[in-house]
Structure 1
Amino acid sequence: MKDEQLRKLLVIEDEPSVAKQLQWGLGDKYEITVAADAEQVSRALVTSKFPVVTLDLGLPPFPNNPTVGLRILEEGLIPPSTKIIVITGNAEEETAVRAVRLGVTDFCPKPVDLEDLEVLINRAFRMHEIEAASERYPASNASYTFYGMLGTSPVMRKLFTKISRAAANDFPVLILGETGTGKEMIAQTVHLLSQRREKPFVVVNCGAIPEQLLESELFGHEKGAFTGAYSSRKGKFEDANGGTIFLDEIGELPLAMQVKLLRTLQEGTVERIGGRKPIPLSFRIIAATNADLKQAVAGGLFRQDLYYRLNVIPLTAPPLRDREDDVITLTSHFIEQERKALRLGRLTLSPAALAAIKAHPWPGNVRELKNAVRRALATVNGTAIQPEDLGLSGPEMGDKETPGIDSLAETKRRAEAEAVRQALALSGNNISQAARLLSVSRPTLHDLLKKYKITL
């Protein structure tokens, strides 16, 4: 072991007994440097690079509170790429949440169990290696994936780093982003990278379940709890026991269900409808929404205490318009995926199609792009995909005659038809959801479909 180059570990610890314990128990596995205060931390970080740091938040001159440790995190003394494991006897949730938001990846309680700490340290080194490999990977390589998530753009690389950090602990995650940006895939990736990966990943779409069935769906019911309850039934939270529950469209959750969800999160138990005893569970919650929850809180539509309970680790799924480097990569990936499924020959994107794809704003994001590719493969004539195959207009050529200005009525007609098509793409052709997106009734939407000869 002495002949191998040991990985560098910085131990920020002011208690000599704990520092000696770590050196004695881990010294043959890592090259350990000990720093007992903020000044020694600064010197150590100037002279060497450490992929992983253990940090005692209670440092001099205030060893009994986390002031100095949190200040080290806030001032950015530790590089963003470094994985930080907090070793502390201060287990207050508010401190832990603040530390996570400042970049901490994991926690180890005092007194320290060396075996548990070694597991956390090795995981932190592995995370650092994955992210370092990601940074070294050529941005031009179109095949780069992060656990199934495709992307080489800077905004996606930042997201991958945040996902890794979120996966390293068990705090609630709130994923924000427009429809079609891949929020469920982000949630799945957090789960797959977490310690709960071998346990269930249960998905609940809060906006797709009728309100009168939602409580039973989430929390279960006992036999005879209501008319038609002929047997006891577990809810989704019980299905997710030991694993992760993903609540999509959390902003659609009725206020009455928000109260019960908050109690479940606070107590770690569920109570079935008609049940008399709380059922203890272990789960991680990840929620997602395309709504502005802050605005919903201000309008009294979403509980502020539940919002704070969920928004411990916020992740944002970027819209496709902010991923310029990824649009063509994703298009090529979807073409290959669908082509193989349909057993088609090789297909290419024409120069006009490439230009149209880059010019289109993609309001429906990745979902709209994937649907456009499916449409193209169903209509393409030949081996080169054209803009019209994707449902896009090609860029105007410079030698063409300048077109006249459309009338106001024609402009309105086109905009209305396009709005209907986009709402259908965003909702996956769900009439109720599309009507809600357009703020019209279902009968009105059916009239618009007939008017513009749009088929589902």
Structure 2
Amino acid sequence: MSRILVVDDERNVLTSFQHLLGKKGHEVLTAKSGEQALSLLGSNSPDLILMDIRMAGLSGLETFRQAKAIVPKVPVIMMTAYGTTDTAIEAMKLGAFEYTLKPFDIPKLTALIERALAMGQLMRTPVTYGAADADARAQRIIGKSSKMIEVYKLIGQVAPSNVTVLIRGESGTGKELVARAIYHHSQRAERPFIAVNCAAIPETLLESELFGYEKGAFTGAVARKPGKFEQASGGTILLDEVGDMSPSTQAKVLRVLQEGTCERLGGHETIRVDVRLLAATNQDLEALIRDRRFREDLYYRLHVVTITVPSLRERKEDIPLLAEYFLKRYSRELQKSGMRLSPEALERLSAYEWPGNVRELENCIKQAMVLGQGDVLMPEHLRLGQSSAVQLRSAPESLNAVRELARQHLEQAPGSAHQHLIEQVEAQLILEALMQTQGNLAQAAKLLGITRPTLREKISKYRIQRRVHLNQREG
């Protein structure tokens, strides 16, 4: 559950947000003025602030400036009517996460809130490495192998400077954790950290996401919007899966690195940005250069310093430490303290090749804790090869089934194929989780990575309660 502060001088807006966010399981604080909001921040640190631009008394923009001085790592979403978007854009230049127009599009607003909460969590959760007596709130990079000691040394050497760092490694090795460790130990740790997954954003949208756009730059561009480089100015930006960028986007990133400037789509104004760039990839950039799919000049700008994160199969001696860490990390969340691995289970973990690396190991341990009975996890509790999406990517028959399903939806439901396919897959995923946990809502929600209120909403939406017996117990 997250704590969200809503600041607006209209009581009906505050009431609507209390209802909307309360249903999602969030704690909602409300303030009718900027002055009241700043007073609340002195005693209550929220995870997110939603603030109206135009309010009586202290303006939204001035309240934002003062709030950022009190809680610099709390993301702020500015709420604005159409005629005040210039002020909202100014707030984004000063570090606001995003702005949203009134009247609200509820599904888009809900998705925006979830993204802001996720980014805030990344910024506030410290990442430590090496030391065993780490901050209890921190996420840790685990390992004592020689390859990981080398990674720790490089993090310590590059973190205090502003040098560009290229982080390489297979999927699931922890490249983003390394990037966040660099950020948290840098001189920019109190400034924004923004991670952009270049592979997850369609090529046609990535440029506008990174560099922003002017009003009228394309259909749907109803107002100017700053890009991620502007939002991260003064802080750090991580370009994850940097090898997936198009040539035109690569050229613009190169300009940022060379000149510290960029232009919004559809604009001519040169915008100066002060940002530290970290890049991550699981691809062979040298091969992409040979194939003329990646710019050689950008490559040399990116790998001023390169940190290579080893695969888990290259450091199997770290598996017992990682397993113990994940057992402790999820014991409170799953309310299963004291669980441990049997020697036979640990031996099985050490013998497996882990194509999905640390992420697959984490998912395997968490799934075993959810489904296991008693205090000792045995080999039969470990569903190796089933706990990672790696298996889907590596199995042609699974990919063919997904492609066929997608093709059918595109043919049979043109115009609504995306919604129908997502709903069909989501319903099946929820049903499978409930079946694996014998209908236990708490365990199914943890297995899915969502809250119980969200799970209940989806169960009702898809009428799943008619097909599976639901166990309402907490455990």
TM-score by length of 2: 0.55
Moved more, 339-348 or 202-211: 339-348
Of 347, 353, 356, the match for 1:361: 353
Alignment partners' CA distance in 2, 1:233 and 1:439? 37
Q: Which moved more, 1:200-209 or 1:186-195?
A: 186-195
Structure 2 counterpart of 1:280, one-letter code: R
What residue in structure 1 maps to residue 230 of structure 2? 238
Q: Give 1:441 shift.
A: 7.8
Q: Cα 1:342–1:143, aligned 2, differ >3 Å: closer, same or farther?
A: same
2:310 aligned to which of 318, 326, 337: 318
Q: Radius of gyration: which is bigger?
A: 1
Whole-Å separation in 1 of the counterparts to 2:328 and 2:163: 37
Matched residue type, 1:443: R
Q: 1:152 to 1:143 in 2, by over 3 A?
A: farther
Hey, what does 1:398 align to over in structure 2?
none
Instruction: Name the SS for the 1:148 alignment partner.
Output: strand
Q: Residue 403 of structure 2 is aligned with which of 443, 446, 454?
A: 443
The answer to whether the aligner puts 1:171 opposite 2:163 as a matched pair is yes
2:251 counterpart residue number: 259
Runs of 4+ more than 4 Å apart: 141-147, 433-441, 444-447, 453-456
Question: Which of the numbers 243, 266, 285 marks the counterpart of 2:277?
Answer: 285
Deviation, 1:386, is: 1.1
- Give runs of aligned pairs for residues 70-81 of structure 1, distance below 5 A: none
In the alignment, residue 217 of structure 1 is paired with which amino acid?
E
Matched letter for residue 389 of structure 1:
H
Q: Which runs of 5+ in 1 are unaligned?
A: 1-130, 393-417
2:217 equivalent to 1:225: yes
Coordinate RMSD, CA, aligned: 3.2
Distance 2:171 2:405 in 1: 20
Distance 1:437 1:295, change over 3 A: farther
Q: Residue 334 of structure 2 contacts residue 370 of structure 2 at CA under 8 Å; is this kept in 1? A: no
What percentage of residue pairs aligned between the two structures are identical? Answer: 43
Which secondary structure state, in structure 2, belongs to the residue aligned with residue 327 of structure 1? helix
- The correspondence of residues 401-416 of structure 1 with structure 2, limited to 5 A, is none
> Quick check: 2:210–2:228 contact (8 Å CA) kept in 1?
yes
Q: Does structure 1 conserve the Cα–Cα contact (< 8 Å) formed by 2:166 and 2:302?
A: yes
Amino acid at match of 1:219: F
Q: Structure 2: which 5+ runs fail to align? A: 1-127, 408-424, 434-475
Give the secondary-structure state (helix, strand or coil) at the position aligned to 1:227: coil
Instruction: Show the counterpart of 1:39.
Output: none
| Residues 441 and 264 (structure 1), Cα distance of their counterparts in 2 relative to 1, 3 Å cut | farther
Contact kept, 8 Å, 1:142 with 1:329, in 2: the verdict is no
1:288 and 1:387 map into 2 onto residues whose CA distance is 35
Q: Give the secondary-structure state (helix, strand or coil) at the position aligned to 1:381.
A: coil
Query: What pairs up with 1:55-134 in 2 under 5 angstroms?
Result: none
Report SS of the residue matched to 2:238. Answer: strand
- TM alignment of 1:286-301, pairs within 5 A: 286-301=278-293
Q: Distance in 2 between matches of 1:437 and 1:293?
A: 29
Q: CA deviation at 1:445?
A: 8.4
Question: Which of 154, 160, 164 matches 2:146?
Answer: 154
Letter in 2 for 1:377: M
8 Å contact kept, 1:175–1:317? yes
Aligned mates of 2:295, 2:265 — CA distance in 1: 22
- In the TM superposition, what is the alpha-carbon distance from 1:301 to its structure 2 partner? 1.1
Work out whether residues 142 and 152 of structure 1, in 8 Å CA contact, stay in contact via their aligned partners in 2.
Answer: no
Tell me the matched-pair count. Answer: 284
**C-alpha distance in 1, partners of 2:133/2:355?**
23
Distance change (3 Å), C-alpha of 1:167 and 1:147: farther
| C-alpha spacing 1:436/1:300, structure 2 compared with 1 (3 Å) | farther
Deviations 1:89-126 (A, max 9, x none): xxxxxxxxxxxxxxxxxxxxxxxxxxxxxxxxxxxxxx
Counterpart-to-counterpart distance in 1, 2:219 and 2:135: 53
- Residue aligned with 1:209, SS: coil
Deviation at 1:425, TM superposition (A): 2.6
Q: Decide whether the 8 Å contact of 1:222 with 1:274 is kept in 2.
A: yes
Whole-angstrom CA distance in 2 between matches of 1:304 and 1:442: 36
Deviation at 1:192, TM superposition (A): 1.3
SS at match of 1:159: helix
Shift of 1:264: 2.0
TM-score (norm 1): 0.57
